[in-house]
Structure 1
């Protein structure tokens, strides 16, 4: 029997039958739509930055599961790249990405009035070894 297991075809057939019960049934559908992201204990209910009028574009610099962590990471990166980010204040945006679970995420961004300005700042930051992504606010 061990000799037959070395044969790839036989091994594939064995694996197919072994996985059959796991994949043979009907797909399980969630009961109702996926729930929205939820706030956890210790996460603020809303913030003043999010309530203010936002520029239409943002250069996302840091993201975390707490607003404080996102701001701390933004401050660290701002210090490392003071020549580019020194004059900017962070804009905190609450995000709900169900691919990452149902906890809210907080993104610290630099607000920009145009996509071109956001792309330009992000490209300069990347050229200096930083990381960022341009997002619509």
Structure 2
């Protein structure tokens, strides 16, 4: 990893590019050695203070954006509204007891699976952002000594 590449990804890369970069360069696979991660950490020590501060700020923003429990209270009423509206529509069906209940159950399971999937994806982003922010902050603290 080159210093120029690191500076560019922190200052100009999209959030997805930054998180993918963190995954590849700073979170080694289980079967790889940690030498590459150490070398990359040493490269972090060389980045300018302004890029370091930008990186920390971006990662804090990504953490806030990926904090799913804060957005859950907004999503749950919307999901319940959809299920309620659908259950009212299902009452129109000729055999409302069997087909309507089955459709409501399927919609509920699908909605639940979708919310859990989103939660898992956002949690992974938050974990990467916290990890890299802590690395940047440790570099910042060592520079201030």
Q: Same fold (TM over 0.5)?
A: no
| Structure showing the higher strand proportion among its residues | 1
Structure with greater proportional helix content: 2
TM (norm. structure 2) is 0.24
Larger Rg: 1
Q: Which has the higher contact order (CA 8 A, sep 6+)?
A: 2
